[in-house]
Amino acid sequence: MAKTQQISVPLATRSAGTYGPFASGNLPSTLVGYSLDFTNDATWPTDGSNVLTITVEQSNDAGSTWLFDASTTFTASPWHNRQGTVVNTSDWNVQLDNHGSTTRRVRVTFQLLQTAALGVTVSSM
């Protein structure tokens, strides 16, 4: 399904700390999920330690209340595509129930555990 960009955080080198939350507007009623496309650069750490925790929350009432939806951790290791080639982009897809709702939103929070260059685009699908 085609992606529709909702949030964009440009690639930049950021020190350890919490960034966000970055919230979307109301998502399409035909929503079946959302996608986060990440970008890094050659400075991405590779020592195996934890670099980042990213958390997604969703709202069903146009942002009045928020509920945890999904999270994951990134470790300090090069990113690869399915063929094993090192790349600077990565993708996270999360399925959502299609409620037909017109007041659904998502917001994203990053917690960088060490300095790293990172950018992210959040899209609905």
Partner 1 sequence: MAISVLQERATDISTTGTTLTLAFSSNITAGSAIHCAGSWGLASGSPTCSDNVNGSYGSALSTFNNSSATQSGTHFNKNNAGAGATTVSFVPPSSDFRGICIREIGGTSGLDAGSGKTNGQTTPGTGAGVIVGTSTTPSAQPGLLSAICMDIKAAHAVAAAAGFTAGLSGASNQWVNIGSLATESLRYTSTAAQQAKFTDSTGGSADSYITASVLYIEAGTVALAGSGATITSGALAPSLSIALTGQGITTAGGILVPSSSIAVGGQRATVTPGTLGVALSTTVTGQGVTAASGSLAPASTLALSGQPASLTGGTVIPAMAAPLSGLISTAALGILTPALSGAIGGQGAILTPGAVAPNTDIALSGQSALSGIGTLSVSGDVTVALTGQMLSLAAGTIIPSSIDTGITQPGPLDWPPDRIADTAFRRKKKRRLREIEQPAHPVDPIRVGALGATPIPPAKTYDFRSLVELSGKSVEASRVEVDQEIARLLVEQQERDDEEAMTLILAALED
Name the residues that contact partner 1, by CB under 8 A: 1, 32-33, 35, 38, 48, 50, 67-75, 77-82, 90-97, 125
Closer to partner 1 by Cβ: residue 77 or 102: 77
Helix (H, G, I), strand (E, B) or coil at 88: coil
Q: How far apart are CA 63 and CA 4, in angstroms?
A: 19
Q: How far apart are CA 84 and CA 77, in angstroms?
A: 13
Q: Helices (H), strands (E): how many in the chain?
A: 0, 10
Min dist CB 26 to partner 1, Å, is 18
Min dist CB 17 to partner 1, Å, is 19
Min dist CB 10 to partner 1, Å, is 18
Closer to partner 1 by Cβ: residue 24 or 38: 38
Q: How far apart are CA 77 and CA 97, in angstroms?
A: 32
Min dist CB 25 to partner 1, Å, is 21
Closer to partner 1 by Cβ: residue 1 or 16: 1
- 86-87 and 79-80 beta bridge pairing: antiparallel
